[in-house]
Structure formats: structure tokens, C-alpha cells
Chain A
Amino acid sequence: MTAESESFQLSSGVTVVFESMPHTESAAISVLLPAGVVREAAGRNGTSSILTEMLPRGAAGMSSRELCAALDNLGLQRHLSNSSAHLTFSGATTADRLLHAVPLIANMIRSPHLEETDFLASRDLVAQSLMSVEDEPRQQLSRMLRKCAYPAPWGNPSDGEAEDLPAITLDGIRDHHQRFVTPRETIIGIAGNLELTAVRDALERAFGDWSGEELPEVICGDVVPSPCHVHHKSAQTQIGVAWHSVPVSSPRYYDAWAAVSLLSGGMSSRLFTEVREKRGLCYAISASLSCLKDEARVMACAGTTPERAQETLDVMVAEILRLHEDITEEELQRCRARARSSLIMQQESTSSRASSLARDMYLLNRIVSLDQIHEHIRNVTLDSVREFILDHPPQDMALVTIGPAALDPATTRQAAS
């Protein structure tokens, strides 16, 4: 039913996953570079974020403005971001022009200028964006919840820590680039109306002669203890809870996915129905499965005015704890239907295909076709989901609140006992 993807390695060791999408007019690329937050030196959280800001500021023989103009003239819609594991470049344009952008993207990645003036400007911009996060409790919540859910450095915020920024130097940025923007664990996802041979040639020319060292192992530290409350004179209290689940590589991953989908996959799912529709306690409520390569957490968040915050937390946790109860076939069928349609619609977007291909290769070291995912989803049963939830109960919940007053964490502790 769906297109076949192919994966191959360039001479440099870069892994490429390609999917031909002949019915589209566009093409997209997603480059995962193993230079994320977990590679930062201790006390230098923000290095990866500053490097992300600096990469497009001139490369090889081109100034920042020349590079920007060249990419704009190719119509390349682009985005650079960083996460715990990666620094990611993603871009999309019409299919006839994507491969012309590849040499420019390669220059940006391999030979950025990384000069003093740009370093100072980039560090200032990262500092300012951290100040903005302080002003927005919802953004602050996701930073804090991650810190309380994952051990450092996996829980370190991708945008950095304000108090670490002054100690980060240009040499530190250059070192991070030299050691971690390297071919060994780089993955390129590419999808669109393109031919395999042309893709292979263009990528080999741009990335084939690239060399770099092996990556060291990441040493894990501690989680930030919770319950954790951050005082904020905000109109709402933001509430976040997190607990353990299983990663994509687990044979039970699709049961884990279904469990979160029952909780928060659509507007008929449990959290939305019980907290918002039946009780009117909040506007925004959601839960999602966050996956690292070897670990995963479910993170559930809601925002509500302080006088309703305790009830919101209590109802949320109660729903999470009773998730294994009364699951119906109809409920599960809705999860399957949502997944089926979203997988099919993914084939309409070269950008989402390119990033999914790269992400799957990182998480699983292999390609998963959309047909295989459909098959896995069809195979999830009432019993398999229920057993999964009972085997992986929401214990040791992390709790973070941000707002005018802390909440009583009793319900989340019940979960631990």
C-alpha cells in the first residue's frame, strides 16, 4: 500500500534513509547531528543551543547574508533546533531544487564560521529567549517537568540554563562542534519526488569525505527531586505529572502508545472528557509519550486557575490510575482509527516523512514501513493494553506545579504506594 524506503551509508559513515514520494511536488530533508544537550560539558547547559543559533551565520566561502540569500532563492523553508540527543536541521522546498541546496546545507553543518561577534550575539539571543520562558509559565512547566522526569543530562533543558551561559565560551562552542557534529552517528532522512541515484550522488558529494571521531558514552546523573513547585504570580497554575513507560524499541511499545492514546489521543479520550468536558476544569489538557532511545515517559499537563488546581490535579491523577479499568473495544478502535488516518496523511507531507524516517532510524536502527506500523496497531488488543498498564503502573510520578501556590501531592503519592 505504501512506498518502500531505502537506507544506505555514505563513505563517511553517515546513515541515509530515503523514501520516494512521486505524487508530491516537494522534497524535504532532516539531518540529525549527534550534538544535542547530552553532549554538553557539565555546567555549560546552553552550548548546543548557542551552536544551533550560530550554524547559519556564514559557512565555507559564504557570509551569513550570502548563505541566507542562496537558500532563500532555492525556496528552502528551513529550521534548526536542538534536543537532548540532537542538533537538527530540517528543510523543504520544491523537488527540483532540494538537491541544489544540499551542498549549502553541508557547508553550514561542516564548515560554519563560528566567529566571536556571532558568538556574542547568539549567546545574547539564547539568554533573552530564556528570560521570555521565565515570563511564560506553560513553557517553564515543560522545562521543569523534563528535569524531574529524566536524569541529567537527558533531562537538561534544550534551550539551556541562564546561570550557565556566562561560562560558555567561543572555544567551548568550537569544541562542541568539532567533537559532536560528526558523521559517525549522523542520520539523514530525505523524502519527496526524487530519484534514489540522484539523492545518493548529491549526498555522497556533500558528506562523503567527512571524518570525525567516535562519540564517548553519556554518563547519567540524577533527576531533580519532585514534587517541585515554582512560584509565579500567574493567572493560572500549570500542573505537570510524568511517569515511566517503554521506548519505541520495546516489543510492548504499541501497547504503551495505545495506553496514552486512550488517555489523551483525541477529544473523546479520557482526560479531555473527564477533566474538561464533564467538569469544565481547564481549557488545555493533554498527555503524550516522550521517547528517548532507551527510555520513555508519559507526560501529562494541564493549566487552570489556582482555586480549581487541586481538583484538576486530583481528577487527572485518578483518571491516570484507573486507566486499566473498563477499557472498551470501541475506545481502542478509536485509537486505531486516529493512528491509521494520521499515518496515511503523513504520506501527503514530505517534511513529516523525512523527519519520521530519520527519527525511526535513530530510535530503532532500522526502517519501519508505514505498512508495518499499521500492522502493529491492528495487533494491539484490549488484553495487551490492559496487561501493559498493569505491568507498567504509573508509579513514582513526578509532579511539577507553577503558579501562585503549591498543591497537595497526596494523590500522586498514592500512586507510588
Chain B
Amino acid sequence: MKFEHRQLSSGLTLIAESNPAAHSVAAGYFVRTGSRDETPAVSGVSHFLEHMAFKGDERYSADDINRIFDEIGARYNASTSEEITMYYAAVLPEYLERTLELLTTLMQPSLRQDDFDMEKNVILEEISMYDDQPSFTCYDNAMATHFCSHPLEQSILGTNESITALTSQQMRDYHRQHYHTGNITLVVTGNFELETLLNAAEKYCSRIPQGEPRRVLPQLQPEKRIRLVTKEDAHQQHIMQMGCAPAGDDPLRYPAELLSVIVGDDSGSRLFWEIVDPGYAEACDLGFSEYDGVGAWMSYLCCEPETAAENLERCRRVLEEVISDGVTAEELEQARNKVAARVVLRGERPMGRLSSLGGNWVYRNEYRSVAQDLQIIRSITADQIHDVLRQFPIRMNTTVGVGPLAELTVN
């Protein structure tokens, strides 16, 4: 494994980790923009723009983009989160140059009006599709409630109303403000020759305009809030709770990650043994989400509506016990072993490596090899876990329910 960090002549940052044993190479543009960077007037534009990127430019039509990616047998797609829009492809090594050309085309789309009008229908259908998934509705409402008045409250997809009202001019303006070298990083992992990569990157990636990042990072003032979205015909009740956790640049994020595995992994965790194993709830887990400048604990419970209140109370008791007594040495060792194996398995494929490599760079400007990641995981101590519990006790201030319940008491 060899790491390279270059600034291309256009100012674009390129990071690359080579692995000659891999059979493929993965490349991706990480654009530091997402729903948190939108104003309410253009809610959903980052995600809609991600779709429009595949409609091509003057040289390549939408059909061309799909056709050429398929011709080279690429596994390619894009995703939009609250903070990052990512465009990626995994290909056989001989197609790296072609892939960089296509991915760069996606960064500079023409945003034609007829394509915009047609794709708007697809976006509205995607919104409807997620409307039919209660766990997604729960997530969207939990984020909006927990991050009320903070940029992270914005929905990734937007709403039927915001998307219907959005114009192609608003999208062009948004694109100009956010798609520049200050926000874009090119990440490449897997089997490649450095010289070929650098030449291709200079040749194709210099078209991206220069710019400076300007995301605002306000603090969150958490308040106790409960919100219920009632669906009378539903059978199961979905509940998410959120509380404050370490931010993406906080060194406590590593112990926080292990703590969430001990307390709330989907099997073998405290919540699992207390709530899922006895059959009280179909799912009950706890995750740790890191963002730019803030972090969140997020628990998810799915159970019969009539047992929701007692399950929430069970969940609260589990968390209070951890806050007061900490974790055992055995639990910590088990979590280290679990997470270490995940890192190794995920890192084996270029496509799996791409997101950790890119995420680390975009959030923290740092590179860590798989070996370094493993070393950090192995070195986490019970004291560090204790620090997390002291500074960010897992107490939830936000509760959101989706399902039959119209009322819910939370202690």
C-alpha cells in the first residue's frame, strides 16, 4: 500500500492509495456539499443535482454516459448525504483513464432544461418511494427534529413542494457555488500506475474551476423534543431517539464508535440482549454519527405499538446503566475484535477502501492505512470510553415515532 497526495495544477486535491494485489481500481469525486449546505428555498437541490450530473455535457449526452460506463463494465453510481455528494466507479485497471474522463464530465454537467424537467419526475417518484418506508420517514423526521434550526435539519431528498418549485437556474447557481476545487477531492484506490493516474488526472480534471470552501459550522443547542408521525394503518411502531455525541474532528470519535458497538450493535450488544434477544422488539440498536462540527447518538427501535413505551423504558435503563457503571474489559475486547475484522474485510476491495479514504480526507485532512486504523482500534482503553460517557453521556433529547401511536410518554 502506498499513499500519494498531490495538488493538481488546477488546484484540485488528488489522494491515492495503491494496492498492486487488487484486481480493480476505484475512483471517486468527493464533493463537500449536501443538504446542510442548502437554503430551505432549494431544499433537495444537492441530491437532484447528483442525478442531473449523469445527464452529461455538450460532448456526452445522458445516453452516452450510461452507455460508456456500461461499455467498460464499470460499477458506478453516486450518493448524496447531509454533507457529501459522492460520484464513484470501480473498474478494471485498463479503464482508469476513461473513468476519470467520465467522472469529471459529471462534475461539469450542462443542466439542460428538458433533462431537468424529465428528471424532476424521477426525483418526485423517489420521494414517494421513501414515503412508503416508515423507517426512512422516521430518520428524516428525527434529523429535522433533533437539528431544529441547525443546517443539518434539512432533508436530503427535499419535499414534493420544494422539488416542484425548484428551477434549473437555482440549480445552476447552486452548482457554481459548490462544485469547485475548494470542495472537491479526487480519490483513487486499488491497482493503478501512479504515472498513468497523474497524467490522466492532469489531462481531464483541470476543467474544475477554483474556489474556496465556505461551510458554516454552528453549534447545536439541544432541546427536549418529541414528535409523532401517526400512520393509523401501520402495524409496527418505529422510534428513533437522538442525543449529542462527539463531532467528526473530535479524537473521542474512536472510543465513541466502540462504545456504540458495545451498547447497540445489531447483535451481541447490551440493547440486543436486553430487548431483541427476548423478542420484545424486532430491532433495537444504537449508532454514532459524526458530522462536520457536531455528532449524534441515534437509537432505533421497531416493535409492536403497544409495547413501545415499555421498550423505550428498557432502552433508557440500559443506557443509564452504561453511563453510571461504564463497560467491562471483556466487552471492550469483544468490540475491538469485531471492529478490527470489519476494517480488514471492508478494506480488501478498492470500492470498500474508497469511502474510508475519502471520508477521512474530506473531514479531517488525514490519511490512515488499514494497519494504522487497526492500531488505533487496538489501543482504545476503558478510560477513553469513560471520557466519552462523561462528556457525551448517551441521554436522548429527541424522540420521533412513526406508526400507529398518536401518544407516547418518554421518561
Contacts and interface: CB of A to CB of B under 8 A. Distances in A.
A341 B233 contact: no
B134 interface: yes
B23 A347 contact: yes
A60 interface: no
User: What size tier do the contact residues of chain B reach?
Assistant: 35 or more
Given A135-B236, A137-B132, A342-B75, A267 B119 contact: no
Contacts of B302: 128, 132
A23 B118 CA distance: 46
Interface in A331-373: 333-334, 337-342, 344-345, 347-351
Contacts of A69: 268, 330, 334
Contacts of A338: 70, 73
Contact of B344 (A26, A234, A267): A26
Contact of A267 (B69, B278, B338): B69
B229 interface: no
A280 B129 contact: no
B128 A77 contact: no
Interface string B273-284: 100111101100
A136 B273 CA distance: 27
B1 to A, nearest CB: 12
A93 interface: yes
Interface stretch (B60-68, B161-169, B381-389): B60-68
B91 interface: yes
B373 interface: no
A276 B337 CA distance: 44
Interface in A38-90: 57, 64-65, 68-69, 72-77
A105 B126 CA distance: 41
A267 B66 contact: yes
Nearest to B117: A280
B125 A304 contact: yes
Nearest to B22: A348
Contacts of B281: 128
Interface string A102-130: 00000000000000000011111100110
Given A124-B279, A303-B129, A75 B350 contact: no
B72 interface: yes
Interface string A259-270: 000000111110
A129 B135 CA distance: 13
A345 B304 contact: no
Interface in A261-287: 265-269, 272-273, 276-284
Contacts of A351: 345
A92 interface: yes
B17 to A, nearest CB: 15
A273 B235 CA distance: 37
A268 B70 contact: yes
A348 B337 contact: no
Contacts of B333: 73
Contact of B73 (A138, A235, A276, A337): A337
B358 to A, nearest CB: 18
A25 interface: yes
Interface string B122-159: 11111011011110000000000000000000000000
Given A72-B334, A280-B122, A266 B69 contact: yes
A304 B128 CA distance: 8
A235 B160 CA distance: 12
A112 B259 CA distance: 30
Contact of B233 (A68, A93, A233): A233
A415 B362 CA distance: 52
Contact of B71 (A24, A128, A337, A348): A337
A12 interface: no
Given A68-B268, A303-B129, A135 B235 contact: yes
B74 interface: yes
A249 interface: no
A235 B70 contact: no
Contacts of A24: 348
A131 interface: yes
Contact of A132 (B70, B125, B235): B235
Nearest to A129: B282
B128 A235 contact: yes
B376 interface: no
- Cβ-closest 8 pairs across A and B: A75-B341, A341-B73, A121-B279, A280-B121, A124-B279, A337-B73, A131-B235, A283-B126
Interface of B: 21-24, 54, 62-63, 66-67, 69-75, 90-92, 118-126, 128-129, 131-134, 231, 233-236, 267-268, 273, 276-279, 281-282, 302-304, 330, 333-334, 337-338, 340-342, 344-345, 348-350
30 contacts: A24-B348, A26-B348, A73-B333, A121-B279, A124-B279, A128-B281, A131-B304, A136-B134, A235-B128, A235-B132, A236-B131, A265-B70, A267-B69, A268-B66, A280-B118, A280-B121, A280-B125, A281-B125, A283-B122, A283-B125, A304-B125, A340-B73, A341-B24, A341-B73, A341-B75, A342-B73, A347-B23, A348-B22, A348-B349, A349-B349
Given A93-B345, A340-B92, 15 more contacts: A23-B21, A26-B345, A57-B277, A64-B277, A124-B279, A128-B281, A235-B128, A267-B54, A268-B67, A283-B125, A303-B125, A303-B132, A305-B125, A347-B23, A348-B24
Interface of A: 23-26, 57, 64-65, 68-69, 72-77, 92-94, 120-125, 128-129, 131-132, 134-138, 233-236, 265-269, 272-273, 276-284, 303-305, 308, 330, 333-334, 337-342, 344-345, 347-351
